Amino acid sequence: MQALCVANWFLPPYLTAVLNTMGLVDITFFSVEGTARGGDELAYARSKAHGFVTEHFHPLHAMVCLEQP
């Protein structure tokens, strides 16, 4: 489990157990906080979450781009 403030979130252990029973074992959780406020706070929260997701999937994106002709 890695991402934003997930350490204090109670749901990942339960979701991990359920997803593991379906064969999904490499799981990353992302927490998006501050979206209920709207305005600038919403834009900041979305930008921050997008940064974490982009950073997480960047190596995969690079591999896919290299494999295309």
pLDDT for residue 16: 92
- Decide if 15 contacts 40 (C-beta within 8 A): no
- What are the tens digits of pLDDT across the range 6-28? 556 788 888 999 999 999 999 88
Q: Is 62 exposed, middle or buried (0-12, 13-18, 19+ CB in 10 A)?
A: exposed
Q: What pTM did the predictor assign?
A: 0.54
* Dihedral sign for Cα atoms in the order 11, 15, 16, 17: positive
